[in-house]
Each structure stands twice: as structure tokens, then as C-alpha cells.
Amino acid sequence: MDTNSLDHLLLENLSTAVLLLDGELTVQYVNPSAETLLAASATRVLGSRASTFFAGSENRLDALQNALDTGDPFTERRAFLNLKDQGQTAVDYTVTPLVSGASRFLLVEMQAMDRILRIDREEALITAHDTSRNLVKGLAHEIKNPLGGIRGAAQLLSAELKDAELREYTDIIANEVERLCRLVDRLLGPNKPAPFSAVNIHEVTEHVASLVEAETRGELVILRDYDPSIPEVQGNREQLIQAILNIVRNAMQSLKSADMLGKGGTIRLRTRIQRHFTIGKVNHRVVCRLDIIDNGPGIPAEISERIFFPMISGRPEGSGLGLPIAQSTINTHNGLVECDSRPGHTRFTIFLPIECDDD
């Protein structure tokens, strides 16, 4: 491998976001980590002015121009970048002037400030989920044993009773015990891992969208914003459908409770590629990101930190099981579900690793 190829390989695989600006402060190069940070592909970034990305860009453009003129590097802490689809993100960045013949360039290296905080938050979320699941397993064992005894006693009593009216009461006991057993089984999830195969994430989202559109009889507007270049993920199609359906239906019910169906309520399904993304303690070269965004009233602040725990729901009629089951299912796919909510904008984000062949 020659030096140029090695240099390119290193730049393409750095976790640090790297941009190269020319003398006009126009982007001439962007590495994959910068694409991830800016939430935009290289095609959309190349040729853009630096002012496109820096919030409060006037002073920063002066600083960049001064670095070009004087050749002095500088570092700025907690600067904000404008993202095309997702608001702003805070970064630390260093600017190093470069000279090649008569041309001058600026090498911009950026580190997302919230990256470490996000990783810590994800690890805490996974740990909390594991703790919750272990608690549910313990409770399920303690609950199902006496339930089995109650059901057996009710069946024996029913066999001894001659009065059909009295047997109705024992039938109620048996049916309610069966309902509780099914509830515990739903909390526990499947007993064994389902077989995985290649799954097209857009085929899954379209199936979910068709189900919810049929359920709302066309009153709900579902917008699609797909990246068709996303390769297939490894997973179980039925489980992914159920997990995504739980989240989309949760958004639909939020809009319905706010009387927004047919009155401006929308759900947006957006897919993107995300590079060098850490889930738990594992760094994945490429992940599929699915955002499920609604413009409903948002999640109540008092439960926003606990929505992935069983029996926590913002609706009186809610079971509080949809989101924990979705999180559990995505976890079995080595993925993660995150949530960000405020009035008028609630976003659930599903991250699923994509297996890449090594070059």
C-alpha cells in the first residue's frame, strides 16, 4: 500500500470529524465521521460554505479568515453546528492552516461534545433495561407459580359444582388467571432467540405504515423520508415489525388523545446511515438509524426518564408495555431505542447495526 492510500485509509476511519476548507472557506473534503456529525452525506456537504454549518457564523468566519491570512491555528470550545435535519450539536474544534504551493487550506478537526455523554446515557439505558428485565423475570417466577395453583383449584372446583351459574364464577377465575399468565409472558418476551435473516428496513416501515393507516382510516398523515442506499440489516422481520409498530402506534395514540388525527397530526418515518456509532461499549462502523417523529403534545416530563420501564404510560388506558417490549426486541438485535420529546416534537430513534464486509 502506498503512502497516499494509507493516508486516505486513516482519514476515512478516524473517529474525529475532519473537514478541509479552501481559501474561499468552501468544503473540499469531508470524512465519514464528519458526515455523521453533520447528519449529511459528502455529496451534500462538498462545495458548501463554512457559514452553512456554523451557528452565529459571522464571528467564526472572521476567525477562519484570520487563520488563513496569518497561518495561526486556533481552537474553540463549545461551538454549535447547524444540522440539516436535527437542529444543532455542540462541538470542540481545532483549525490548522495548511499551505500547498500557492494554495491555502484550513484543516478543521471536530469532536462532538455530547458524544461521551450520549454513550454514558446509552449504557445507563441498557443497564436499566437489563435490571428491569431481571426484576420482571424474578417477579414472573413468583407470580406464575401461585397462578398455576389458583387455576388448578378453580378447575377442580368447577368439576365438582353442579350449578352452571356457580361454574361461571370458576370460569371467570380461570380466564383471569390465563390473562395474567399471558401478561407475564408478554413482559418476559420470547423464550428463545428468533432466527435472523437479511431484512429491508423500508419494507418493514412500509408494512407498519400500512397497518397504522388502515387503523386510522386515512386520518393520520404518515410522511416518508427514506435513504434508499441503506443496505439490509440482519434481524427477524416479524419482531422488527412488532417493535416499530409499538412505537408508531404509541405516536398515533398520542396524536389521537390530543384530537389531532385529521387535524394536522403527522408521523414522519426517516431513515439514515450513521457511521462510527457506539451502542453500549461496541463501536459499529455503520448503523441504520430510523427516526419516528410526531408533532403531538409530547411525553409528560414526570415520566420522560422512565418510559422504557414496564407499566409506565402517559395515557390512562395505556398498558405501559409497548415501549419496554420494543426496547427489549431491539436490544436482541444488538440495537438501541432512544427518545427525545418536547411539546410539538417527539422523536424515537432506533439504531440497528449493519454488517459490513471488510475491504
Domain of 101, CATH number, reads 3.30.450.20
| 152 and 89 belong to one structural domain | no
- E strands of 219-262, at which residues? 221-225, 233-235
The answer as to whether 206 is a domain residue is yes
| 67 and 131 belong to one structural domain | no
Q: Would you state the cell numbers that stand for residue 175, as one nine-digit string?
A: 380466564
Number of domains present in the structure of the chain: 3
Tell me how far CA of residue 274 lies from CA of 29, 83, 178, 212, 277, in angstroms.
Answer: 18, 14, 44, 27, 7
| 225 and 324 belong to one structural domain | yes
| 20 and 143 belong to one structural domain | no
Domain of 272, CATH number, reads 3.30.565.10
| 343 and 268 belong to one structural domain | yes
Identify the H or E element spanning 32. Answer: helix 32-38
| 263 and 311 belong to one structural domain | yes
Phi-psi region of 51 (alpha: psi -120 to 50; beta: other; left: phi over 0): alpha
pLDDT in tens, the chain (359 residues): 566 778 778 888 888 899 999 999 999 999 998 888 888 888 888 998 888 887 666 678 888 899 999 999 999 888 888 876 656 788 889 999 998 888 899 999 998 876 666 666 666 666 666 676 676 667 777 777 788 888 888 888 888 888 888 888 888 888 888 888 877 776 666 666 678 999 999 999 999 999 999 899 889 999 999 999 999 999 999 999 999 999 999 999 999 989 999 899 999 999 999 887 888 778 888 999 999 999 999 988 777 777 776 666 655 555 566 788 888 889 889 998 988 889 999 999 999 999 765 44
Give Cβ neighbours of residue 210 (< 8 Å, ≥ 6 apart): none
The answer as to whether 336 is a domain residue is yes
Are 308 and 337 contacting, i.e. CB atoms less than 8 angstroms apart?
yes
Residue range of the domain that includes 149: 117-188
| 245 and 216 belong to one structural domain | yes
SS3 label, residue 223:
strand
Q: Given the C-alpha cell 500500500, which residue does it identify?
A: 1
Are 33 and 23 contacting, i.e. CB atoms less than 8 angstroms apart?
no
| 175 and 87 belong to one structural domain | no
| 135 and 106 belong to one structural domain | no
Please identify, among 132, 155, 188, the residue that sits at the C-terminal boundary of a domain.
188
